[in-house]
């Protein structure tokens, strides 16, 4: 079975690095805590739909880019 939290976290981390953002900068742009972003990237937390939308907007990416590994 896929570890969806870990796969999503890897995607967020990759998109963040490609956007040349620190975890702190992404957190600020998404109006989320740095700790939450860190936990998402490490696969320790799940994100609500609202948090997903905030992260997607802050990364300026398409939904497909954010969720493609979860298929």
Q: Does pLDDT of 71 surpass 90?
A: no
φ and ψ of 61, to 5 deg? -125, 170
- Residue-by-residue DSSP string for 57-70: HHHT--HHHHHGGG
Q: Does pLDDT of 5 surpass 90?
A: yes
pLDDT of residue 25: 98
Sign of CA dihedral 14, 16, 19, 20: negative
Q: Does pLDDT of 2 surpass 90?
A: no
**pLDDT, tens only, 24-70:** 999 999 999 999 999 999 999 999 999 999 999 999 999 999 999 89
Q: Does pLDDT of 17 surpass 90?
A: yes
The domains found in the chain, sorted by start residue, are 4-64 (1.10.260.40)
Q: pTM of the prediction?
A: 0.94
């Amino acid at each position: 079975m896929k570890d969806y939290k870990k796969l999503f976290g890897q995607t967020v981390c990759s998109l963040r690095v490609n956007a040349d953002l620190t975890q702190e900068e992404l957190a600020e742009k998404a109006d989320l805590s740095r700790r939450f972003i860190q936990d998402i990237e490490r696969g320790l937390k799940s994100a609500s739909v609202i948090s997903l939308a905030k992260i997607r907007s802050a990364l300026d990416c398409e939904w497909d880019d954010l969720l493609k590994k979860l298929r």
